[in-house]
Every structure is written in structure tokens, then in C-alpha cells.
Chain A
């Protein structure tokens, strides 16, 4: 394994480009009257490996590279990309992207002064050699994961375990003269177990990762094996699941991944684009009470090593900690450059895109609620009859009417203040602008998720994180079968 050169040099060497070629492309992009132009170069490798039926049968290695050219004029966006990176293709892309700007403009020259200022953050100082281990080591780890899951219970009949080891190198040049580069490692291990007993079958999955070295999975904490046991445990628990009650009830959410509630119920609705256009249920609620006083919700792209973290967003803006809801009041939106400019505010470091094939949009990073003061066990004891949900699959929201859903994959009845029988998978549904007003208890046990979250918006997927302390919601509709 060789040391990766600094990102800027990497692109210039690989494609035979220099600062002048970038300046000339940006100049061409601005040949009509436009407000802003940028180039986003990306080189991404993903090494995948998967195990099933006890052995590693699949390996994949994908390399993608390309450049996206964007021109902004007023509220218009012109975007063109190419996976061939040559001076000629850059010019063609710039000519296409500038189509949205109709008025002829003065010729603009861009000076990409070598911005040698240090990066604002160094959130993932992981070298290539630390993330991608030799193949036999990876194979051995997946085989240990398989054995660990099967050892948990003889009813585990199949284990599917897979890695994705990703490294993304980006270079962003813009008409403000900034030249910004970043190298973004991303590691993920996923374990799914199938359990069978007397003709009944269940499955469950667990996993984790982040912008971390391979050691994250195999150090003293042996996280890889923890994920294996967790997937096995959830699959086995499901054998005892009873029918889920249907209707409105008190719901206690456990810490960590159930933070997907915040992502769906408020996070998407606070993205700048929907609020600028007035299509979000939160559009006119800035400064208003949208949650109980116990709730403070932040989106923080600066937590070291986290899956949702970035040194700079995909427009080169440093990420930061943004308070979205403070003690129940709406205080902030998530912004990219375009929407920030049109709304007259600062970008918040939330301009993200899936790849060079996509233009950026306001997106979440790591979204979570700050810890409160209650003892989690007291919170459960406070509920006479309700649902205690600790693990979730995905969620979805209609940002215009505010209705959101998220699906519990591990939940229990609460009866007389005690945790009772597990229940079958069920979807929970609520209304974003009012669900957080029903939060009556917040635990002191804030936990972030393990690092497997993917957020989709307009067909673009980006890695994100969520987090939550134990909370009690007084009234949420549970989509069970037992009416």
C-alpha cells in the first residue's frame, strides 16, 4: 500500500491539469452573467467483500472518477458532469452548465490563489494503509464474524457479512478563488442473520463504522464481533414477538439509532431549500415553539471519525455545529451556498452531494438531541401502558404536510412500568411540527448510532449519523395489527 499524495497534487498529476486549466474553465463557466461557479473533482474507490454460508465468495472493487461543473445565476442552477476528466471535457461541461444564465456578462477572470491556510478540521486523519488491510486479513475477519454469530444461538442458520471500504478524494475550485481538497475515508461493516426454528424464520441486521481505520472493527472493543452478536440477538428475540397493538399510545424510544425520529420528523423539514421555497411544514416557524422545552436538537458535522462528519462540505464550506432547536424553539435551518445566498444567511456547511454526478443540496450530517436529566429506567417506569422501541429500520417524511414514519425493528410492550413481550415490526407515524412537543421526559443517556445511516433525497444518497437519549413521547400512532 502506498501513501496517498495530497489531494490537490493527486488530481493535477492524474489528469494532467493545473490551476490555470481550472481557472480557465471557471472563467468559461462565468462567460454569461452568473453569481457563482464551481468545479467538483472526485476520485472514489470502494472495495467490497461479502461472506455468506460461511465463506467469502464475493469481492468487488470499483473505481469512479469525474468532475461536475456548476453555474449559479439567481435561483437557477446549471450542472454538467463528465467521467472523462480532460481540459476539453471541462470546457464542454462549462458551456453546458452556463446555459441557464441567459444574459451576456463581462468576461470574468478567476484567480485560484493557492490557499495554503490549514484545513479548519482534521476529523479523520486516517492513512490509506490503515483503512484497507490485505485481503486475507479481511477474509479472516468476516469468517470470525460468521462464527461469532452462529455461536450465539444454534438457531442462526445463515450469516451474511459484508464490508465496504471507501476512499474518496475531492478537489473543489470555485469562482471565489478557493481551491479546497479533502480525503474522506469511510468504513462500514454490516451483519445480517437468518434464524430458523420449526418452520419459522426471522432476520435481523446490525453493523457500524465511520471515517475510521480498519482497527475500529478489531481493536480491544472487537466491534465486529459485537455487531455479529447484536444481529444474532435481534433475530432470536423475534421468535417471541407478539402482535403489535394498533393506535395511539405512549412511546419510549431507546438511545442511539432511534434518533432517526429527529432525522425524519424535523431534520428534512429544516433543510434550507424547502424553507426558501415555502414547501416545508416548518417554513414559517423560525423562532416558534416546535418542541417541548426539554428538547435541544443539533446537526453537527464536526464530530471526529463519525460517518456523517466532513472536514468541509461538498461545496468546500467548513462543517460546523448547528443548533436547529434550542429548548423547544426553532433556531436554525441547514444551508448550502445557493439557499444561504437567496435567504440572506451564511452557509452552514450542509451542502452535500452523492458524487460528481450530482449537484449539492442542503443535507444533514450527524443529527441528535442533547441529553436531558432523567434516568432512563425511571422513564420506562413512568409508563403504565405503551411501547418501548429500541431499534429501527428506515424512515420517510412528506416535508410539505409534515407527516413522517419510521419503522421499529425491535420493540417491546410496556405494561405497568415494566418492559414486557417483544412485538412484531411496526411503523410509527406522526406529525413533524408537533411530535416533539409531546416529549415529556429526556434521559441523560445520549448515544450516537453505530455508523450505518444512509439518507436519501431527490435520488441522492449520503452517509449520515443520528443520535438520541432515551425519550418519552406522550402519544404517537403505532401501526400494529391488533386493533
Chain B
């Protein structure tokens, strides 16, 4: 996992590309260079199943010809190839219509100095292959040892990787950062009387030392899988719904989609025109934090060099801020929130970073205990969310709540409502917030939704 000798620095490549593009006739431009290496080791039923190693190096260039722009990407870093590439992008830009909102971001918002976000911890990158296998094996073994009904497995996967991101623009910004990631997951399969169930658990972190131990991950996966055995549908009815942290995060994710710039200037968001309005229960506070130390989506600057920051999106139910990149900000006559993200070959667009629902005061047990009859949701499936109207209808699985206690598992039902009503109907928020992925939430209780079943 080291750089090949003689390889050039990604930031040097980015700066050189910017210079070549200006020489090719671009009136302004910016370039992103990403170098990444990763490895994943999958073990299934105690044996290595796959080992995968990867190495990527890509360059993305955006060129402006006045108010028109184009973006292209390449993996060919040869100097002559880069010259030809830059000329081609400029030519592409000249073929499209001018857009008065296009351009590089406001220079005043560019990142200056930034604190160490603790995103890079190479201790662990050099872990020998046999240790990677051992880690995945012990995770799966811990899961399967929990119960004789755990008879099969989709395997345990241990992955680690590093990335080096560099960005330079003709506005004079040049910056780079490195990051590492480590993750471990397992998906055991249980069988009881011929009926099978599968679930999974995982952890992910910037440092190996902060990754949950394999046994804990394995045991959690086992418990999640076993509790699904014997699941059945329940009759169609309207009931309170408790979302576990995993599924509650998806509700927060739908909110993230609706507050991002693109959905707003395209008028394709159910939160359009609602800035300053009460869109949710007063228990609902949502924060996007691009500079959370060790955050899985943290970065010192966004994909246009703008400084990232902590943005309160919803404050006690009131919609306070959208998430904007430079373009969306100009379209909406607002300021960028440093939310630009881009895959190297694409136009930057606003996207959440560490986006989370702030923890509330109730333990998850207390939330479940507050429900007379209802559904505790641990799994959701499908794409039945309309981001323009907020209409919501998804497949659900979980556990039935009767008199405040979890009873039998439930599957093959749907839950439906409208996101705006659901956010307003939040009655309790849990104290169990953990940053295991970039969009997270604690346990959440919604007053009532329509459950469709038998």
C-alpha cells in the first residue's frame, strides 16, 4: 500500500492540469485528482472466499468557456495525453449553452487553514493478509457460535483502504487531504423448519483501533438474524411505528436528499419554499457536520475548495438551512454551505456529509415501552419514496409491539405515509446515536402510519 517510486504527487498533477487547461483556452477551470487503494477479504463458513485488491487513479477536469462549462475525466496521466484531454474539455464547453449561474465558487468561502480532522491513520494498512483473514474469520465464527440455528452465512468481510484527494482551481486554491477507512461486516443465515432469515451487522471507522471488535459485530449480527425467525405478516391497520437507528437513518437520508441544492432549484423537493417553516416535531434537530473529527464523510474542503462546516439544517423542527454547492447557491441567491461533492467525471452537486438527527433523551427501551400496539421496524426495502411529494410507502420488517413489549417478528408488510407528516408526528427521539456511517439517527417513534399486511 505504498506509492510507486517516482510517482507524481496528486496535487502537482491537479495544478499542472489547471495550467494546461488555461493554456488550452479555458477562461476558468478546476481539477480533482483521486488516488485510492483498497483491499477486501471475505471469509465464508470459516474459509477464505475472496480476496480483492484495487488501485485507482483518476483525474477530473471542469473547464469554463465564459459562462459555458464541461466536465471530463480520464485515467491517463501521460503529459501529452493531459494536453489533448484539456483541449477536448475546452472544446466541449464551447458546445453548450452559457449559464449565467455557472462558475467557480465565491473566493471568500474557500478553505484557508483547517484543523487535522484525523481522517488518516495508516496504522493497519500494512496488516498482513493472514491477519485480515483472521479478523474476518473470528467475526463470522462469533456470529455462528451464538445459536445452532445459525447454519449458514453470506460471509464476513474485512476491508481497508486509503485515498488521497487533491483539488486545484484557477481561482488560486490548491489543497489536498488523505484518508483511511476500515470496515468489518458479517451476514449470518438462520434456518428454522426450512424457513431462512438473514441479517447483518457491521462497523466502519477511520482508524483500525476504533473499529468494534470482531466478536461484538458477530454477536450483534447473530441476534439481529435470530430475532427474525418465525416472522409473519400482521393485519392491515394504523399504528405507531418505532424505527430502530438503522431504519431511522433512512428517514433522515430522505430529508438530506430534499435539502440538497439540486432538488431545490429543479423544484423537485417536498421541502421547496419551506425555509423558516416548522417542518417537523420540536424534538427534531438535524445537523450536517463536514468537519466532525474522524467522521466517515468529513473533509476539510468540498469538491470546489469551499471550506466545509457544521450546518444546522433543522432546529427543533424548524427548517434552518439547505445544503448548497456554488452553483445551487447562485441559483437560489444564497451562500454555499461547502456541500459540493463530485465524482471525478461529473459536475459538482450538493450532497450531505456527516448528516445526523441529534440524540434525544429517551432510551430505546423506554420508547418501545410507550407503545400499546405497533411495529418496531428493523428493516426497510424498496424505493417507494417520492421526493417531490414526500409520499412514502416501503416494505418493512421488524418486531410486533404489544403492551410495550417486543413480541413476534413481522415481515411482508408495508408502511406508508407522507414524510412531512411523519417528521411532524415524531413523538420520541432516542439517546442511542452512534456514528457508524455518514447518515445516522437514534431510535425514533412516529405517532401513526398505515401498515398494510394480511
Interface residue ranges, A against B (CB under 8 Å): 46, 49, 52, 55-66, 75-84, 93, 96-97, 99-100, 135-136, 139, 157-158, 160, 194, 196, 201-203, 244, 246-248, 277-279, 281, 357, 359, 393-398, 400-401, 403-407, 424-427, 429-431, 477-483
Contact = CB atoms under 8 A, between A and B. Distances in A.
Given A77-B51, A81-B54, A427-B393, 17 more contacts: A59-B92, A62-B72, A63-B72, A77-B50, A79-B53, A81-B53, A97-B53, A157-B267, A203-B268, A279-B152, A281-B196, A359-B52, A394-B383, A396-B382, A401-B231, A477-B452, A479-B393
Nearest to B60: A62
Interface of B: 44, 47-58, 68-76, 88-89, 92-93, 95-97, 99, 102, 129, 152, 154, 189, 195-198, 228, 231, 233, 236-238, 266-268, 272, 344-347, 379, 381-384, 386, 388-389, 391, 393-395, 397, 411-418, 450-454
Given A395-B382, A425-B386, A483-B452, A57 B50 contact: no
Contacts of B129: 99
A408 to B, nearest CB: 8
B391 A477 contact: no
A404 B72 CA distance: 38
Contacts of A482: 450
Given A203-B388, A393-B383, A76 B394 contact: no
A246 B76 contact: no
Given A84-B57, A401-B197, A202 B388 contact: yes
Contacts of B75: 63-66, 83-84
B52 A79 contact: yes
A60 B452 contact: no
Contacts of A160: 266
A60 B347 contact: yes
Contacts of A64: 58, 73, 75
A396 B379 CA distance: 12
Closest 8 CB pairs of A and B: A479-B414, A62-B345, A405-B382, A427-B384, A405-B395, A246-B452, A400-B198, A247-B236
A479 B384 contact: yes
A279 B99 CA distance: 52
Interface centre among A49, A58, A244, A482 (most CB of B within 10 A): A58
B40 to A, nearest CB: 9
Contacts of A77: 49-52
A57 B97 contact: yes
A201 B452 contact: no
B426 to A, nearest CB: 18
A427 B382 contact: yes
A75 B46 CA distance: 12
A425 B418 CA distance: 11
Given A61-B72, A157-B267, A56 B97 contact: yes
A100 B48 CA distance: 7
B393 to A, nearest CB: 4
A81 B396 CA distance: 38
A231 to B, nearest CB: 13
Contacts of B92: 59, 61, 135
